[in-house]
């Protein structure tokens, strides 16, 4: 009987590697950083400052992991908090305020 040995990721077609990576529910720090377009060091700093996307420790070695769906939600939150992509927060869409004609200095 012959054992089936899976091929390493390097020998898989690019489409198979990408589809596998996008289906992963959990991402390690390096993969999460790549997914977000950041450096792993940035995620490390944010994590210790309690900023950035939520992470958790998994397994006996306490490996830091990120849930892909949580990363997507965090990205949407960032977009909504940015006035450039959320017109409700843009100062350009605010109603102009006028000063009252009160007395100056007493």
> What ranges do the domains of the chain cover?
17-86
Give the Cα separation of 28 and 33 in Å (integer): 8
Specify the CATH number of the domain 17-86: 1.10.1660
pLDDT at residue 4, as a whole number: 47
- DSSP-derived secondary structure letter, 100: -
pLDDT at residue 96, as a whole number: 72
Cβ distance 66 to 26 under 8 Å?
A: yes
Q: Residue 63 pairs with which residues in a beta bridge?
A: 58
Which has more confidence, 49 or 15?
49
pLDDT at residue 103, as a whole number: 63
Percent of the chain residues past pLDDT 70, beyond the cut: 63
Give the Cα separation of 52 and 27 in Å (integer): 15
Q: Report residue 82 as tokens.
A: 């940015």
pLDDT at residue 80, as a whole number: 84
pLDDT at residue 95, as a whole number: 74
């Amino acid at each position: 009987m012959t054992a089936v040995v899976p091929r390493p990721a390097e020998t898989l077609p690019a489409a198979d590697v990408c589809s596998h990576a996008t289906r992963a529910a959990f991402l390690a720090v390096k993969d999460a950083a790549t997914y977000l377009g950041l450096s792993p060091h940035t995620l490390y700093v944010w994590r210790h400052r309690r900023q950035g996307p939520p992470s958790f420790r998994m397994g006996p070695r306490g490996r830091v992991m990120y849930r892909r769906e949580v990363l997507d939600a965090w990205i949407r939150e960032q977009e909504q908090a940015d006035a450039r992509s959320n017109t409700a927060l843009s100062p350009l869409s605010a109603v102009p305020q006028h000063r009252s004609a009160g007395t100056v200095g007493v």
